[in-house]
Structure 1
């Protein structure tokens, strides 16, 4: 059964957060400039001040509640999701899956462009019924022991009544989308990805070898967060669940490092994402997909589209993706980073539309 969802943080929780922020103890000065050693102290201090005195959570809460949101019990898991009905005569149902440290909200700009293309100069015949769930243990969805791809399949088919549908995802969402196609191929008309599974065997072209080397360099420089969340997430979770400044620092560094532009996210965007994690106390459970991750590879025979954004941490060449997926479309984007749905929603919506149009 679907239950309409409206977000309301109590005045007591807002007051408690403000008190913690005003009592923040900043770290001692560190002998490294700017962002060289992690989240820049001046930036975090500025955001902490704004979060505690000036950030209008109630205004953001109103904006969030303007989205049509629901909860449903799926396999004994309470799932939260946005459901945007398409404007056209035959909208294509699609499920969009976010990653970490994102929330469902990061996909809202893309979702509106897909559901209402005529607002953005497109054709209503290309519209979608857009479903944007919160990953289990993220924000307003409960943690679950059921594989996420199975929850999504049940939500789309049995709860919402879509016999066949499309799917898109990046980061963790790309893994969920790939598994959805692997385990439920008859329900998928196609999938669109921003990241791809690693194929078995050695790289076979110079371009693939360069990609493997680039990924290794990235992990050496940027991958400490992933290793911590895979191996000792609870140790980290104690600190981030108790300190809003610590939670903010952990998140803002990723938004800065993985975006194509420092201006892709406003201060209020960052603080809204951090607030969702804080008020729901879900930073710990958001680490679960890393801790429970098991290597997975399977040849995907569902038609696949792939968009490669130049500032993303995952930019595999076309041949690399085609070794795993039935690749119908590969687009090298002119700009954009890891959070493409928010950074470049027009580019991503256009690519999704071009890929899925012949599959409708």
Structure 2
């Protein structure tokens, strides 16, 4: 345990509240609710709470009580959480978050995996859980070079294998974290015993004549989703800094940008409060705000779009795919098998893009069941 993960000066907290109170609100359209983006009434309510009654210091203290460590990998300080397993032979696993998430979203899942007996499970299923913060996401600064000398999966392997001494380990991730976990399994099959994914990389090539009916339906659904929901990804991939200037200057704008994603991508039925307490959403937004990391969180999108991040070609280590019904897409098993050695495929009964927060018990059970066969 070293320095606190985050320590915000009073002046910065005062500045945030001043900016929130001075928000210049948009001219409304004759539309209700979320039809054209973030609902103004909901945003006003949260901005008012953020500026007045939201207690950042309480959450800052909780963040700093987490089991945090730092390792410098290829010139990048990587902050990570470590939850030691309750069993002496606990399997090491690295959990990787995505966007607009942070390591805070994974703490409940990490605790369930490290101490399963506290949740009705067996100590023999325990993991030693490492939760690193992606460079440029709140707790870890962005990588100093562009393009980087080491890519995310290479940094993770250096952390797990070289820094922490785990000769064999597992990996899990969704969103961007699924890509990092996939490349770990592809690049280091002697060390990575298996990967557990919430999303899959598409095949680098395929013969359309071989597509199953289920795969064709899936690709039609992906195209429809991209047309209706993919604007954020296109902007973050093509002109990220134009957007980042606005979001780095306006906390209300920053909150609007990520709030809409938590609603649209979760199993909330359109009601955020059914999945995310106000304090959870505002803590995530506060983290991006105080660390100035919304701009650097866009880098993976830009790098991937320009071929600076390696594409996944074929992953031969055992792979589990967990599909949540309200996630961005629901790839069928046949589609995943074009890229991965899929040995477990689970369609979950509920949950969305943020299952470590939405359904931690379901996700933990699936991880335990899959890796129990590989220990």
Matched residues in 1 for 2:31 and 2:226: separation? Answer: 21
Q: 1:264 aligned to 271, 275, 290, which one? A: 275
Matched residues in 1 for 2:8 and 2:115: separation? Answer: 30
| Cα distance per residue 1:187-243 (max 9 Å; x no partner) | 101000000011221361000000000011101110000000000000000000000
1:320 aligned partner = 335
Please list every run of 5 or more consecutive structure 2 residues that lacks an aligned counterpart in the other structure. none
Pairing 1:104-143 to 2, within 5 Å after superposition: 104-143=103-142
| Cα distance per residue 1:136-175 (max 9 Å; x no partner) | 1100111112200000000001111111100000000000
Contact 2:182 2:312 in 1 (8 A): no
Q: 1:287 aligned to 285, 288, 298, which one? A: 298
Matched residues in 1 for 2:221 and 2:153: separation? Answer: 29
1:241 aligned partner = 248
1:11 aligned partner = 10
TM-aligned CA deviation for residue 3 of structure 1: 4.2
TM-aligned CA deviation for residue 297 of structure 1: 3.3
Contact 2:82 2:128 in 1 (8 A): yes
Contact 2:6 2:139 in 1 (8 A): no
TM-aligned CA deviation for residue 4 of structure 1: 4.9
2:29 aligned partner = 30
TM-score by length of 1: 0.98
- Over the residues paired in the alignment, what is the CA RMSD in angstroms? 1.1
Matched residues in 2 for 1:137 and 1:27: separation? Answer: 30
| Cα distance per residue 1:331-358 (max 9 Å; x no partner) | 0000000001110000000000000001
Contact 1:4 1:71 in 2 (8 A): no
SS state of the match for residue 220, structure 1?
Answer: helix
Contact 1:3 1:72 in 2 (8 A): no
Contact 1:5 1:71 in 2 (8 A): no
Q: 2:366 aligned to 348, 351, 354, which one? A: 351
TM-aligned CA deviation for residue 66 of structure 1: 2.1
| Cα distance per residue 1:272-326 (max 9 Å; x no partner) | 0000000000000000000110372311101101100000012100111111111
1:306 is the counterpart of 2:343: no
1:217 aligned partner = 224
TM-aligned CA deviation for residue 5 of structure 1: 3.8
Pairing 1:66-85 to 2, within 5 Å after superposition: 66-85=65-84
Matched residues in 2 for 1:272 and 1:134: separation? Answer: 16
SS state of the match for residue 296, structure 1?
Answer: coil
- Deviating more after overlay: 260-269 vs 212-221: 260-269
Please list every run of 5 or more consecutive structure 1 residues that lacks an aligned counterpart in the other structure. none
1:273 is the counterpart of 2:284: yes
Matched residues in 2 for 1:164 and 1:264: separation? Answer: 35
Q: Would you say how many aligned residue pairs link Structure 1 and Structure 2? A: 359
Where has structure 1 moved over 6 Å in runs of 4 or more? none
SS state of the match for residue 352, structure 1?
Answer: helix
2:188 aligned partner = 184
1:227 aligned partner = 234
Matched residues in 1 for 2:371 and 2:222: separation? Answer: 29
1:341 aligned partner = 356
Contact 1:299 1:325 in 2 (8 A): yes
